Amino acid sequence: MNVQGKTILITGGASGIGLEAAKQFLAIGAKVIVTGRNQAKLDAAKKANPAIITIQSDIANKEDAKFLFNKVKELGGIDILYNNAAVLVPPSNLGIANDTHTDGAAYEMEVNYLGVVRLNNIFMDMLKSRKEAAIINTTSILSQSPSLLEATYSSSKTALAFYTISLREHLKIIGSNVKIFELIPPLVATEMTAERKDKKISVEEMVKGLIAGLRKEHYTIRVGDAKLFNVINRFFPKMAYKLINPKKSYQLLKN
């Protein structure tokens, strides 16, 4: 897929992977719109990268999603919707059923899954009207093998992975020109993973892998260790599970 000259909307684009994607897409000749909840972060991103267009919105909010669509329409529309925004609620009282755990799970599902479905639905007709258009959904290796410490996050990403496959096939059946990409990253060095001591890749490497996958039209884009993990999970699922859930995970659950 040729990204040059395309207009791209990136959710969660004020920092981390989203902001790095905005920079790299700009560098190859795309027009970039980013959206996020934090106006201060959006202002900082705009100041550092004047070519970026920023719109404040919360994809978990239905009214915000409509507001975002109308603003994008005023700007002339988009060719690519990059669903990058995600939340991970830190586990609280592990192993104990409580309201906090339920609320966190609902929030993760609202942002990581339902928010993506909502935006895809709202922008679908706009994307269908373009000569070449795409949606990028960011899932996770945790949609292939679940994390004991991040069970509800894993579940939200699994829902998104299944939805992405179904959406891609549905659009093929009706003859739509909208391409559906699934981005499967490994652990990436961002604010969300700051406390993790495991091996991580940089946001720069992550986005380079995404752009390479788009250019080659790999509809499932695995970056870094996500490629090797896919092989391990396919042939040695128990080993893959242990890689995601080392002994320290069990110790945390017991304590």
**Count of structural domains within the chain:** 1
142, 153 contact by CB (below 8 A) = yes
pLDDT digits over 145-198, tens only?
A: 999 888 999 999 999 999 999 999 999 999 999 999 999 998 887 777 666 667
CB 153 within 8 A of CB 147: yes
Answer whether residue 2 is part of any domain: no
119-132 confidence digits (pLDDT tens): 999 999 999 999 99
At 182 the three-state DSSP class reads strand
Boundaries of domain holding 176 = 7-254
Contacts of 163 (CB under 8 A, 6+ apart): 113, 116, 117, 137
The answer to whether residue 238 sits within a structural domain is: yes
Domain of 187, CATH number, reads 3.40.50.720
1 in a structural domain? no
Dist CA 59 CA 57 (whole Å): 6
Query: Average per-residue pLDDT in the chain?
Result: 93
Is 34 among the domain residues? yes
89 inside domain: yes
pLDDT for residue 95 is more than 70:
no
pTM of the model: 0.94
Q: Confirm whether 143 is domain-assigned.
A: yes
